Structure 1
Amino acid sequence: MSLNKNNISFIFSFLMVLGLTAQEKSDSEKDSILIENLDEVVVTATRTIRQLSSLPLPVTLIPKKQLQQTGVTRLNEILNEQTGIIMTPDATIGGGEGVQIQGIASDYILVLIDGVPVVGRSSGNLDLSRFAIGNIKQIEVVKGPSSSLFGSEALGGVINIITEKPVSDKISGQVSHRVASFNNQNTNFSLNQRLDKIGYSFFADRLSTDGYDLTPNQEGNTVNPFVNYTFNGRVFYDLSERLDIYASGRHFFQEFDVSPSTSEEKDTNLQLKINHNPSKRINLQYEFYYTNYITNEKVVDAGSNELLIENDFDQKLFRPEIRFNHTFKADHILTLGGGYNFENLNRSLFAETVSFDSQYVFAQYDFKPLERLNVIAGARFDNHSEYNSQLSPKISARYELTDHLALKGSVGSGFKAPDFRQLYLDFTNAAGGGYSVFGKEVEAAGIQRLQNNGEIATLQVATSELGQKLNAESSIGYNLGFAFKKGKISSELNFFRNDFKNLIDTRILAAKTNGQNVFGYINRESVYTQGLEVDVKYNPTNQLNLSAGYQLLFAYDKDKLKAIDNGEVFARDPETLSTVQLEKSDYFGLENRSRHTLNFKAFYDIPKWEANANLRVTYRGKFGLTDRNGNGLLDDYDNAFIDGYALVNLAFGKTFFKYYQLQLGANNLLNFKGNNPLATQDSEVLINPGIQLFTKLNIQF
């Protein structure tokens, strides 16, 4: 099944005609697109404005007030305090963190800014520490497969960063400076104004640090000293009552101090959006988006000044998209859309610049067949130049059992396309003994080149297998739960399961004459994650907000479970030194997953003193880093586990003279550092830098 460019052009034209020719049938009926202002409204889950409490999907909303009162400066810091969300480290120069949702790795989580995707996964992981939150209105996290609306990379969920819009006709803004441990300096400035038909906003942020070292007996820092800058400007213009235009530009620059090595990072995003309401029932959105992510990284031996690794990365994405919303009547909304992705990557580890292009269409119907039943059904079709076409359906429903209790559930599929690295990587690591890695599209030519040079000792796969197509990784996600809200208390219980197949893994293609291997990629792994999440919120007074969350997670490789059932997996008992056959209870699960995670938050406002305080506690249970006993899985006999630990964060804020706010706080108040079990004997490796104190002064105008 395929979709060509003529089909896409026809669909775009069809949607435009629908919007321009549709007539209003009844001006008196409720317009569900232009919804009145509501508390806790979200747009990511359905691509339309919806109240959080009415959604049939598991969604986490982080409001602006929480961002301000916690005193955090980066996206990864605030996400780590949410139920079912864990930050995982990135192994690249300078550190950084990705995100894990419901046990699903960072590679499979789509990250958006104002509804458009960010790029820059040089190693599969997207570093969330590069996103400043000083101008963010709210953060929305949709858990579970969301490819029915967002396509590839939304296999495990979506994080949407929504920035603020100007609302006042007076010039307003703020300037702030935050000082923290490790000489962490953060300064930001924002300015915005809305004048009748035109509005604008500007935001600038600077962050620098001396870094820190968790491995004092090893060369180099865990986080190197760095400085980064973020600039964001936006303009809003109402051409008429029915037509408005929005334009946005963002630029991020970061430089690490790793002399004599070098590491620079640049990220540019440009967005133009036209919003058209030809009638009260019809809404059309035309969107043009361009992004460019660049890294320049060179690893140099300090002694010999020899260039060991050069990793230049230049990725571009251009995406036009059109969306059409039609409100037939109250609570019945049809959404249609289509778009085109043009993407290319120039990377020093590739033989040449490579390009992707894809077309997609999607449809969704959000309706109420019964007064107490809301159903959302949708699907998306993606046609890609490098892999098989994908159809991603999803259906969600919410039924109000009583005025205070609702049952909600969803079933949907997700996918992730093979990335540039898995298709086109052509890399030989001279510094690492000469091993080679080839992407699927170049592995046949790469093996042939090595054979011609006499570098292949034995071929480990049949020649006919080289260059066979990789399939897109795919998943089916299930969520079922209850939502309760009455008076001062609200809670949600959600059971989830995510089944993955065709996950891309590495394999050995050949053995080289120097004793090293040649690696390639193959669809092989089949895994699942399942468990439950509980969130409880209690507001005993208007000033005190309490909340707690818990996740129970099981994450397993299905092939490993089958091997255990067949009695094929063994381990050595470190106490008895005897070899034992593993049982299911001995298999801990996938790496870097905790069985239990908890969080607790208390926010207290003191209006009389114009002050506030908050306490946030997160607990991450025991998790394993890697298989160390050679049986191919993480079991209870491995000595690669990090014990469970708690992080306690505290912040106080006080307003002076109406416009001046002073904030004091401590992250990791208990000074937890921990030890990494992979460290060699007598070589301490920590997993946390310890307590981090900060103070912040904010001036509003």
Structure 2
Amino acid sequence: MRFYDTTNTKKVLLAAALAASTVYAGGESHRLDDVVVTGTRTEHALKDVPVETMVISREDIENSHGHTIMELLSSVPGVNTSISTDLFGGNTWRSSMRGLPFYTGYGLILVDGERVHGAGQSGGHGEFGPGLNQIPLSMIERIEVVKGAGAALYGSDAVAGVINIITRRTPDEPSISTEVTYGSYTVVRDTTGDGDLEEADGDRTFRKASVSYGDALNDRFGYFLNYTYEESDDVGADPLRSHRHSLMKKWDWDMNDVLDVDGKLEYSDYAGRGGDRTEDSKRFSLGATYTPQEGHRFRAGGYTYLWDFEQGPPGNPHGYRYGDISYNQLALTYTGYLGDMHTLSVGVEGNQQILDYKTENTHTDDDGNDVITVVTSDEDIRTASIFVQDEFQVVENLTLVGALRYDDHSTFGGELSPKFNLMARLTDHTTLRGSVGKSYKSPTIRQLYYDIPYRHGDSYRESNRDLNPEIGLSISSSVEQWLLDDMITLTAGYFYNSLEDMVVRQEIGTYEGLPLLSYRNIEEAVTQGVEVMSQFDLPGGMGLDLSYTATFTENKETGNELTYVPRHDASGTVRYFIAHHGIGLSFGINGMSSQYTDAANTNYLEPSVVANARVMKEISDNARISFAMDDIFESRVGERTGSWFRGRSLSGTFTTNF
């Protein structure tokens, strides 16, 4: 392991510890009675869930200064978003959980428990990886973040954890809400590496407007509708505009005392980067829950997701891509509450991913003529799965959870994934959690399924169909302590991830006169570290949240650290709500140490300290206005010297609820 830049790192951490930071959580920042489902696929109060889980609630979303899911996640210990531009239409590259990146599939992204694909709608990861900013915040009820190996319940990609984005529920009575946001920001770069920033020409703005309506027509049928429009300028030398229309409809129908039916329809229309990128996505799901008697529940459901895209324009040095990717799933699960000691879950699933698109490479031949080469991706990938889980309450204060899943992948064959969790209530206010589990990850579309090399900027990339899936071992433990009638929560934990056959990219030659890079499995990579978090909800409207993560990574083959993982990441939140005047205030800082940008560990980003502030005023019982300033001192790091990134941002939001 290498240590570097320790003086600057200490300054970063000291600044973060003194101030405290990233999101205004308003009121109560942790609701221990909130019900969560992702960690075990069964309902638990947050205080009693056996698996390490954090929740970003609807209240947190409404009171935060965040404009994207990435911004909300920036306050979660173990989640690093330091390279993200945190802007609709910007990129979400380099975001990671416990040292492993989302954009190559080490964290599983779900929407309402449904696996998603396609990510470019919010500056995601092109056609090959899942993205976090899939849907607008106005559609979200809560976000559940589950840490540790999740393959035993969810299959491939749940290596570092699972993020489940749960959409708004249908209300019990007529409800309408609106939200309008307008903001402006600078785009800057450091061309010399000495901290002197150059500002790009042109005004940069972002806008967002949403309206939601829901109602229960009778005692058995309810529905919810949401429409959101977003637009912003790209983070680059030119202010290229992106916009998105999003629509969601949900309904719940209690047909009788034993059968419930629910459904959801989502549609998104995106055009971005000055018209060079268009995307349409459609998601439809339908499910039924059958409860023949108390303690026994059957759930049957399915969904289909179609992502149609065009990323260009023709002649683009990154390749001109067009076509679609679809994802379909059918599932049947049984949950049985067997007495007071056992909760049994059994499920079978069938997944299908269909790739049907092309990439056009353009290069100039020796005679000066443009030559176009078409790269095809035409695959039908299927997975059949079965899983079983038993939650065993050994005694009143000790719960053991064992889970086992078998996946049969059409490319890689069978894979068995076990997991074991323990939760011990040491006292009425102290809880210990631990887990150990196996995880695995299939290589990405680009790593496997392109038929010839494809252009990517100043190089070509070549897929490798001989890659093996990555196999991981995850171990984690944490202790949670509540004080002063749960007004104070203290959490400390350790995590360890070991990955065999991790896929890396390396240069293997040249193609069409440019470097040719391909993919191969390395022997082993390791990430490990500690996470510490404290939450204080004090009388009089005061609140303070602090978190710190230390992450150590190593490529066992070279001894180098993995890229884009800061050794130290410290943040917090200081907030004050003056109830008599209906005013909320917050100020914060997020500090990160250096992080390497290349596998050889020769280049790295400098430490950064990002400060944010927010003020909120309740105008009436049904309306409020807020103002936010992000990156006050324009200290967010860019990906490299000379690259453009978002600087200081000012925004205002007006919200109504009836």
* TM-score normalised according to structure 1 size: 0.78
Tell me how far 1:437 sits from its aligned partner: 3.8
Distance 1:46 1:524, change over 3 A: same
**Pair 1:177-2:180 in alignment:** yes
Give the letter for the 1:439 counterpart: S
1:624–1:391 CA distance, 2 compared to 1 (3 A) = same
- Residue 226 (structure 2) pairs with residue 203 (structure 1): yes
Q: 1:525 Cα shift?
A: 4.6
Contact map agreement 1:69 1:651 (CA 8 A) in 2: no
Q: CA deviation at 1:432?
A: 6.2
Q: What SS class does the counterpart of residue 299 from structure 1 fall into?
A: coil
Q: Does 2:239 correspond to 1:239?
A: no
Instruction: Choose from 188, 200, 211 the match for 1:189.
Output: 211
Match of 1:595 in 2: 567
Structure 2 partner of 1:26:
none
Partner SS state of residue 175, structure 1 = strand
Q: 1:477 aligns with which of 470, 474, 478?
A: 474
AA aligned to 2:412 is: Y
Matched, 1:439 2:468: no
CA deviation string 1:96-143 (max 9, x = no partner): 215311111112111111111111154644332342111322111111
Distance 1:541 1:527, change over 3 A: same
Equivalent residue number for residue 372 of structure 2: none
Question: CA–CA distance in 2 between the matches of 1:666 and 1:238?
Answer: 45
Pairing partner for 2:56 from 62, 71, 87: 62
TM-score normalised by L of structure 2: 0.83
Partner of residue 343, structure 2: 333
Q: Distance in 1 between matches of 2:313 and 2:211?
A: 34
The residue that corresponds to 2:8 in the other structure is none
Q: Does 2:629 match 1:666? A: yes
Q: 1:403 offset after TM fit, Å?
A: 2.1
Q: Which runs of 5+ in 1 are unaligned?
A: 1-36, 214-219, 442-468, 562-586, 628-632
In structure 2, do the counterparts of structure 1 residues 664 and 330 end up closer, same or farther at CA, with 3 Å as the change threshold? same
Structure 1 residue 211 displacement after superposition? 3.0
**Deviations 1:513-568 (CA, angstroms, capped at 9, x unpaired):** x655654433225211001001111222162222111001101101112xxxxxxx
| Alpha-carbon distance in 1 for matches of 2:135, 2:543 | 27
Match of 1:100 in 2: 96
Partner of 2:418: 393
Secondary structure of the structure 1 residue equivalent to 2:159: coil
Match of 2:552 in 1: 554
Name the CA shift for 1:329/1:518 in 2 (closer, same or farther; >3 Å).
same
Tell me the distance in 2 between the aligned counterparts of 1:276 and 1:590: 47
Match of 2:383 among 327, 348, 358: 358
Match of 1:226 among 206, 221, 242: 242
Choose which of 153, 160, 167 in structure 2 pairs with 1:163.
167
Distance 1:674 1:439 in 2: 31
Q: Take 1:652 and 1:690, find their aligned partners in 2: how far apart are those partners?
A: 20
- Asked if 1:275 corresponds to 2:270, the answer is no
Deviations 1:331-382 (A, max 9, x none): 5200000110121101203435211111000110011112221111101100
Aligned counterparts of 2:277 and 2:452: Cα–Cα separation in 1: 19
Please state which structure has a larger fraction of its residues in strand: 2
Equivalent in the alignment of 1:424: 449
Larger Rg: 1
Q: CA deviation at 1:254?
A: 1.4
Matched, 1:497 2:489: no
| More divergent stretch after superposition (59-68 vs 358-367) | 59-68
Share of identical aligned residues, percent?
21
Change (3 A) 1:352 1:663: closer
Taking structure 1 as reference, are residues 125 and 342 closer, same or farther at Cα in structure 2, changes over 3 Å only? Answer: closer
Distance 1:359 1:314 in 2: 23
1:147 has 2:144 as partner: no
For 1:324 and 1:54, the matched residues in 2 are separated by 22
Partner of 1:621: 593
Asked whether 1:697 is paired with 2:657, we answer no
- In structure 2, the residue corresponding to 1:196 is in which secondary structure? coil
Instruction: Give the residue type in structure 2 aligned to 1:541.
Output: P
Q: Which amino acid aligns with 1:657?
A: S
Match of 1:647 in 2: 610
- In 2, Cα distance between equivalents of 1:102 and 1:172: 39
User: Aligned Cα RMSD in Å?
Assistant: 2.4
Displacement of 1:81 in angstroms is 2.0
| 8 Å contact from structure 1 (residues 96, 128) kept in 2 | no
2:70 partner SS: helix
Cα distance in 2 for partners of 1:510, 1:62 equals 46
Q: Contact conserved, 1:90 with 1:125, CA < 8 A, in 2?
A: no
**Aligned CA distance change for structure 1 residues 501 and 229 (closer, same or farther; 3 Å):** same
For residues 436 and 135 of structure 1, the distance between their equivalents in structure 2, rounded to whole angstroms, comes to 39
Distance 2:337 2:172 in 1: 30
Task: Report if aligned partners of 1:299, 1:308 keep a CA contact under 8 Å in 2.
Answer: no
Equivalent residue number for residue 543 of structure 1: 541
Work out whether residues 94 and 224 of structure 1, in 8 Å CA contact, stay in contact via their aligned partners in 2: no
In structure 2, the CA distance between the partners of 1:204 and 1:543, relative to structure 1 (3 Å rule), is same
User: Structure 2 counterpart of 1:203, which letter?
Assistant: N
Alpha-carbon distance, 1:407 to partner: 2.1
Superposed, 1:405-420 pairs within 5 Å as: 405-420=430-445
8 A contact 1:480–1:494 mirrored in 2: yes
Q: Give yes or no for contact 1:387–1:470 (8 Å, CA) kept in 2.
A: no
1:479 maps to a residue whose letter is S
User: Residue 292 of structure 2 aligns to which amino acid in structure 1?
Assistant: P
| CA gap 1:310/1:369 in 2 versus in 1, 3 angstroms | same
Assess if the C-alpha contact under 8 Å between 1:177 and 1:696 holds in 2: yes
User: Matches of 1:363 and 1:273 in 2, distance apart?
Assistant: 20
Amino acid of the structure 1 residue aligned with 2:215? Q
> Which structure 2 segments of 5+ residues have no match?
1-30, 119-124, 185-203, 360-374
**2:522 alignment partner, SS class:** strand
Q: Which moved more, 1:499-508 or 1:369-378?
A: 499-508
Cα deviation for residue 157 of structure 1 reads 0.9
In structure 2, do the counterparts of structure 1 residues 423 and 641 end up closer, same or farther at CA, with 3 Å as the change threshold?
closer
